[in-house]
Amino acid sequence: MNPKDQVKESLSITDVVSTYIRLEKSGAQFRARCPFHNERTPSFYVSPERKSFHCFGCQVHGDIFTFVEKIENIPFFEALKILADRAGVELTNSQKNKEDTRLITLLKDATLHFEKSLKNSPEAMHYLLERGLTEETINTFHIGYAKNEWRDLFITLASLGYQPEEIEDSGLAIKATDDNGNTKGWYDRFRGRIMFPIRNVSGATVGYSGRILPSLVDPSVAQGKYVNTPETALYHKSKILFGYDTAKKKMAEVKSVVVVEGQMDLCMSYQAGVHNTVAVSGTAFTDEHIHIIKRFCDTVILSFDTDSAGQNALRKTALLCLLGGLDVYVVDDFHSTAGSVGTKDPADLIKESPKAWLDAVEKKKHVVEIMLAHVMRDEKDDRKRGQRIVAEVLPFIRAIQSPIDRAHFIKVISGKTHIPESTLTEELNRGVVAVVEETKIEVINLPSKERLTREIIAFSTLTNKLTDENLKSLSLDMNQFPEAILQEEMFKLEEKIIGDKAKYFNDLIATYKKLIHKEGMKALQQKLLEEGADHEAVMKEINDHAKKGS
């Protein structure tokens, strides 16, 4: 029996699938909401007898290998490794040599070289120990050091038989050219930096984040505090969270994940015992990251830096997570600087007191409560406070997918501000899209009619809602835009929509109706100003029109 069949015989498909999603018994089978497309009613079925799964919604089907390939977004040999380890099946060396890609092997050798360099650098090791890391944690995350030399790693990898082009393709070397574009040679991308390997779901290194040693900072030279591997065949920053491979088991167990900004934050959090921690690692949080998180849990706990950049990132990330159907909390530190949301750098807090960090995570607060407390603390004028609640708090409630949760937080705000729930609900329904800019959240009340019409038609085409009764009631010309424009709009929508598609469609229709109503009201108001207008008759029209929109 070959290793693939051994793994398949050793593992139950229900055990494998239930690691990622919640299954419920349905006769002789198990069912769940499909992890590969958004749906409300479960159409994803697992058959223990056939050792296979099938989704009647998106038609995806297969065995344990297919499932892991798709949900982890990895090739077959990586899925085989993950499942072989789980089943206790040993792969032969010849198989491993076939399955390991050349780049993964190269990066493995690079990581070993960086780890060796760290052990031989008292300064680099002292820096890590001074920051609070233990040698055990350093070894767990395979942290290393890139010497402050131009070609140290390149020469080492070349001596192991790797070609210059391969080293460049891995993101570890940069090609130098002359004025005519001719190749002069290659040099190391990372120099004088603490190296944090970025690993994929199976634990293989696919990239790095390098933190410059403080003693090597030169104010006269443009140096980034952190330098990351560029996009490569293996490393796609929008699809990878630092520490995900070490956190996913705990994420599945406790159904939550703590998201921090930096590598040091993650390592210190893990060291303190919070093993369900991941880091965005200097990149913007994306829809793909939400999909990755939702494989294992539905609750996100954010802890970002308290500077303006960190707080802006926190707001953006929280909003995106809420739109993606996740429940969002924030680690709240009682010693935060005035006017900030969240905690000081987790790494610094943990170094001072690991228990304080554990307590802070345990005492997390919902992001809506945090944002409300922020406004209540900083704004004493009732009118201005109300305006800030509309601008800074309601967008987060609007992004929440559950109507029950939205109603709960409206009630909470009303109780603390004495603003009637009906007034808050009216304000909540007025805006439809929340956009985070530099340091604030703005509510865009209504988009342009052309853009909204284009989006409705594209979305209707994309989701087969052309016969929807709500759509028909708008009496739109479905052929008013060229196909190329609609294709572009559909592409944007596929990238954009990560939440409830039915709700998104209904919101589009409702927004369009509001826009038409607003245009009608403006026309009547203009009519009222016309010379010789019958004010009584026009006012009656205005009142009648207002009732239609209520």
pTM above 0.75, yes or no: no
CATH 3.90.1150.10 fits 239-363, yes or no: no
pLDDT for the residue 492: 60
CA dihedral 96, 102, 104, 107 (to 10 degrees): 130
Q: Where are the domains of the chain?
A: 3-97, 102-234, 239-363, 374-444, 449-549
> Tokens representing 273?
């015992």
> Tokens representing 147?
């010497």
CATH 3.90.580.10 fits 3-97, yes or no: yes
In what helix (H) or strand (E) does residue 467 lie, and over which residues does it extend? Answer: none
pLDDT for the residue 219: 77
pLDDT for the residue 372: 95
> Tokens representing 165?
């082009």
pLDDT for the residue 465: 65
Q: Determine the angle formed by the axes of helices 102-119 and 122-130, rounding to 10 degrees.
A: 90
Distance CA 421, CA 441 (A): 22
CB 390, CB 428: distance < 8 Å: no
* Three-state helix/strand/coil letters over 426-448: HHHHHCCEEEECCCCEEEECCCC
In what helix (H) or strand (E) does residue 258 lie, and over which residues does it extend? Answer: strand 256-260
CATH number corresponding to 102-234:
3.90.980.10
pLDDT for the residue 277: 97
Task: Mark the ranges of the chain whose per-residue pLDDT is less than 50.
Answer: 94-100, 334-343, 432-446, 495
Distance CA 109, CA 102 (A): 11
CB 34, CB 60: distance < 8 Å: yes
pLDDT for the residue 491: 56
pLDDT for the residue 165: 94
